[in-house]
Amino acid sequence: MPKSLVIVESPAKAKTINKFLGRNYVVKASLGHVRDLPVKKLAVDVEHNFKPQYEVIKGREKVVAELKKAAKASAAVFLAADPDREGEAICWHLAQELKGARRPVHRVLFNEITKRAVQQAFANPGKIDPRKVEAQQARRILDRLVGYKISPLLWEKVRRGISAGRVQSVALRLVVDREKEVRAFVPTEYWTVDARLAAGQPPEFTARLLKADGEKVRLPDQAAAAAAVAELERATFRVAHLATKERRRHPVPPFITSKLQQEAARKLGFTARKTMQVAQQLYEGIELGEEGAVGLITYMRTDSTRVSAEAVAEVRAYIVEKFGGAFLPETPPAYKSVRGAQEAHEAIRPTSVMREPGAVRASLTRDQLGLYTLIWNRFVASQMPPALFDVTTADIAAGRFLLRATGRVIRFPGFMRLYVEGTDEVPKRPPHETEEENANGEAAEAAELTLPPMREGEVLALRSVSPEQHFTQPPPRYTEATLVKELEERGIGRPSTYAAILSVIQNRDYVVKEKGKFVPLELGEIVVDLLLKSFPRIMDYEFTALMESRLDEIEEGKAEWLEEMHRFYHFFAKWLKEAKASMANIKAMEEETEERCEKCAAPMVIKWGRFGKFLACSTYPKCKATRELPRGNGDGATAEAAPPEAAPQSCEKCGRPMVLKKGRYGPFLACSGYPECRTVIRVDGGKRAAASPPEPTNEICEKCGAPMVIRTGRYGRFLSCSTYPKCKAIKPLPIGVDCPQCGAPLAQKRTKRGKPFYGCSTYPACTFALWDRPVPEPCPQCGAKFLVEKRKRGGEVTLKCAAEGCDYTKIPGALEPAAAPAS
């Protein structure tokens, strides 16, 4: 009897599913989409109902041929691509290609790759959903029309190789608009005043000046703060009002795609693309020893917070067993999904909560373990009760002033026993501009602080009064987490597309990341300005969100895809025609300057090139002299033309001065002897490295016996022979800690991308390496020879033991607890 053919997207998924189905099935992978619109032409017939001209993707011909052959030899074909629009489209294209096999075609859907889910799906096969296919096709054609019609305009007017996109250009606008806000921001000075007070019993505490004469206090400068301090130092401090309230902090829902991308960026430092890649691996299956390959999480492209009844029952039993009955709410928490969510899907959760992160650690990579732990903790915590706090607010009268101290003590940790959601950067504002209580009813200044026992009317002792200067801060630039959050809140794009969007705007040289934050490049700003003038509706946030909702309505059967296409293209064709005539030609623009060409003395002009603006001889092509043009003062204006700035540093190879230049990846130091000498040095953070002459050391060169010196190169500081370039011996700079494997010194090194790590100086003979900086301090708990620094995002540093199985942790500078007396 012939077997049935099952087609999935990836070999990893095929391997996991194959073991669940038995001998009557053969599982093959399509390697994703097998058909698409061809790359080299529009391939959409706008005159005949936007008929797409699909073809087999280049390089997939062999895959399609093998699938056709397998289909003809099968009893039936089961299409088991992912349960979303893209998965449905993959199935539809496969069905079109396999028509010649004349075999029954079934669609199977499962939200997790486990034996129960897979077998249940194959026992109840369905058909391809035409509405999902139409929604995906509408999105694909819309994106093709916008990209392939507008991008050539940008090639003609700005530079070849760049692109526009229906969603990518709007995401770029968000980054550019935020940068304009940052540039336009004018910091405002303000001061705060804190009083250190003592009641009849410890501890001492701090109260902040809140009101003067019944109004919120405003201290705009040092003089106002000094006057308030002088008056407070003479005042009597008395407890005017005490209030203790119970506050609840509720758990957050289990992950949806966008929230997973945000939290992985905050806590693991993952890009959105990396998050989705690692999540795909966890979903498709991991080898777990005797258990074999099994999917560890449910499908990771979802906007629903729904959880199956079976999963809720399992996690509730787990919570009782591991944490006790006090940590189990009477009824399972219910969460609202975002508007338009596909409730047929579940939230992202572990396929079995019984697979604790620690139990599967040995089978996972570091990245897989980090993401799985995040998903597992969040899901379990989402089914636990709220955390309870006692929030005490003390209002303290001091003459005409009112000060406030707030303490918050955890009474019951609830879900926080396991998980607390990360936060994003929030700019500081003066006290008179902030709310006294936040949305959760918690005091804005609440912290893990215990106030001493006090009573109303009690007089407090003043220990000190401290004024502090502050400045308001501009809105923070977007990070991966906050840009995804902004796209989600505005309804721009869909969670499954965020990773690709963020990658494209970087790959097109529109934005760069500086310290994890998106900063637009000049090219990105020019593209946004041009598109805003010529295609204001395409670049409009609300219009883009409206288009997304239309695609959702097509999938839900509430709208017809052809009607929506005709409605959109009717206006788009007009915008396109007007843009071709009116869009500014950046390539042809020339701006006169007072600079003179060094070669022929003709006037220099500012032109636009591949890497931005530059100075060129006005007699081009007769004279081809060019020169770097420094950027302006941050407002986008160009500074007065000047030659490349000389750097106070000499070339290590030829001794000539280094000059500061700007390239595709930012500024760099280059030898002024170019092209005879091509020495370049990367400049980190966009700032020129300070001149640092070689530092003498007591080290001796192993090759020639000369003294070694410390130099600074593109990957950090290192030891180099003082006779360089005569002797080119180098070695890493030791950090005072020896390798636990071979005893050789450990040294700080850098990856090709500049990320520091600490590895054995004898590499490749010894491959020991750490990401965290070793500290020459032995572990008092297990005797390990060193501890490592752990740095949190807020700047907090702790020391931890790196030895496996040892959980010793300490805060630098803290005293060790006294040893317990022997019993």
The residues assigned a catalytic role are 299
Residue 554 CA: distances (Å) to CA of 109, 165, 338, 571, 749: 20, 21, 18, 20, 54
Give the three-class secondary structure for 145: helix
- What single-letter DSSP state applies at residue 613? E
Residue 306 CA neighbour count, 13 Å, CB half: 13
Query: Tokens standing for 557?
Result: 């059967």
Bin 354: left if φ > 0, else alpha if -120 < ψ < 50, else beta. Answer: alpha
**Strand duo 105-107 + 25-29: pairing:** unpaired
CA distance 447 to 441: 14
Using CA of residue 13, residue 14, residue 19, residue 22, what is the dihedral sign?
positive
Q: Which residues pair with 608 in a beta bridge?
A: 613
Task: Assign 3-state DSSP to the chain and report helix, strand, coil percentages, each to 5.
Answer: 30, 25, 45
CA distance 181 to 478: 12
**CB neighbours (10 Å) of residue 341?**
17
Give the three-class secondary structure for 691: coil
CA distance 150 to 148: 6
Closest CA to 381 of 412, 356, 346, 418: 418
Cis peptide before 104 (omega within 30 of 0): no
CA distance 307 to 111: 11
Query: Tokens standing for 213?
Result: 């004469």
Burial of 505 (0-12, 13-18, 19+ CB in 10 A): buried
Closest CA to 198 of 459, 584, 484: 459
Query: Tokens standing for 672?
Result: 């002024």
Closest CA to 666 of 527, 509, 443: 509
Q: Which residues pair with 627 in a beta bridge?
A: 615
**Which amino acid is residue 176, in one-letter code?**
V
**Which amino acid is residue 425, in one-letter code?**
E
Query: Tokens standing for 334?
Result: 């219910």
| Contact between 126 and 106 (Cβ < 8 Å) | yes
**CB neighbours (10 Å) of residue 465?**
20
- Radius of gyration of the chain from Cα atoms? 32
Q: How many residues does the chain have?
A: 823
CA 99 to centroid of chain Cα atoms? 43
| Contact between 771 and 802 (Cβ < 8 Å) | no
Question: Who's near 76: CB < 8 A, 6+ residues apart?
Answer: 4, 5, 103, 104, 105, 106
CA distance 110 to 124: 11
Question: Who's near 430: CB < 8 A, 6+ residues apart?
Answer: 188, 190, 218, 470, 472
Closest CA to 83 of 52, 55, 117, 57: 117
CA distance 771 to 423: 24
| Contact between 252 and 212 (Cβ < 8 Å) | no
**CB neighbours (10 Å) of residue 279?**
26
Cis peptide before 251 (omega within 30 of 0): no
